[in-house]
Amino acid sequence: MPDLTTLPFPPAFLWGAATSAYQIEGAVREGGRTPSIWDTFSHTPGRTAGGDHADIAVDHYHRYRDDVALMADLGLTAYRFSVSWPRVQPTGRGPAVQVGLDFYRRLVDELLAHGIKPALTLYHWDLPQELEDAGGWPERDTAYRFAEYAQIVGEALGDRVEQWTTLNEPWCSAFLGYGSGVHAPGRTDAGASLRAAHHLNLAHGLATSALRASMPAHNSIAVSLNSAVVRPASLSPADMAATRRIDDLANGVFHGPMLHGSYPQSLFEATRSVTDWSYVQDGDLTLIHQPLDALGLNYYTPALVEAVEATPVGPRADGHGLSAYSPWPAADDVAFLQTPGERTEMGWTIDPTGLYDLIMRYAREAPGLPLYVTENGAAYDDKPDPEGHVHDPERIAYLHGHLSAVRRAIADGADVRGYYLWSLMDNFEWAYGYGKRFGAVYVDYATLARTPKSSARWYGEAARTGTLPSAEGA
């Protein structure tokens, strides 16, 4: 078998990096922007590490030109960013604020001027607070508000942005936001989390239709799912059944209706103690099941589960933060085990085989649909040396292993068109505040100075050559 690390990637393969609006932009009160649920959540005592918030974040709103120049210097060919809904449509209703759209127009123009392909995500968790006050994602109307917002952005940027993503990781929005409460808006209601999941699905379908009506036909529309790689602790019937339950809650709840036009029947059966799913109205699945042009996959670490006796809900080793409430509705008799191996600063096991397995799963489930790895990366305790350099050999090894898994999947027939490193630079890591550094570029949070780490130079060389450099250095 050939050494896949020496084989070139396809010539058109996109080498990108990803960010999200709330994590990097700052300027939360400029240009008519109003609070999102993450502004409210991060300013609520006890919700984030150290009381951190993203009022300034890394000030990308004012420094975007320098950041785009840095991407170009590194050799990136694509950049995945998200639009802040409350910056464009502050109340989540009504007309757009043009100064908000103008920021994204300038950003896109700057990217294109540097030969970097923009990839736009409409929603990366920053619901306008006024919509949450009206009920948030558990309310059906939120899906229709999202479609209106999608049309606004599509009409404004569809002539210059070809790659579009409706939602980023709707699982986190539904189950961490409304189930375990570790993400905004911090609610803890299992039934509400499942209603939110359905309305996020509906929002995706309605937004896809709105984008198709408002943009050039050649534009690509996708969704980015953090589909879990769920593995059983043993091949016992009980552990296999537990694995199926978690797979339904992590994956089937979204890719079922989006890709296949139906929810898994086993999901309905497993969650009947929590909800009767009566909010799924006639015609909803047709609205959700819109043809896609691509599928984004976000991957960090696999899950290992086993069946146990039902226990009182409490902290669990699922990698999704500590809470007395579970993000897994009606699954208190499933335990998450620590998988063996080296770990990142998030405590997540490093396992590139999970990325390979995930890609090949969707290559089978959605044949003919181009795939993108829209997030993959690792947090480490990066620090500058006395000369101001930031060496991160662990991240280089992580990237080498996971990009090798991507190359293996391509060799085995998967149509993977690009890879977006999470993240371009250190930023506000949600409830973890500024304590976890995922960036390929180091940010000094006191001065906001940017310093490319060794991994950024290594990744840039991969982007320029289309092959993987040695993992021994940049």
Catalytic residue ranges = 169, 375
Give the separation between CA 219 and CA 207, rounded to whole angstroms.
Answer: 14
- Indicate the residue type of 396: I
Angle at 33 between CA 31 and CA 38, to 5 degrees: 145
- Indicate the residue type of 387: E
3-class SS letters over 156-207: HHCCCCCEEEEEECHHHHHHHCCCCCCCCCCCCCHHHHHHHHHHHHHHHHHH
Query: DSSP H helical segments within 10-140, as ranges?
Result: 21-24, 37-42, 60-74, 85-88, 98-113, 129-133
By C-alpha distance, which of 340, 313, 339, 349 is closest to 328?
Answer: 313
Q: What is the CA radius of gyration of the chain?
A: 21
By C-alpha distance, which of 352, 208, 396 is closest to 288?
Answer: 208
Q: With contact defined as beta carbons under 8 Å apart, do 437 and 381 qualify?
A: yes
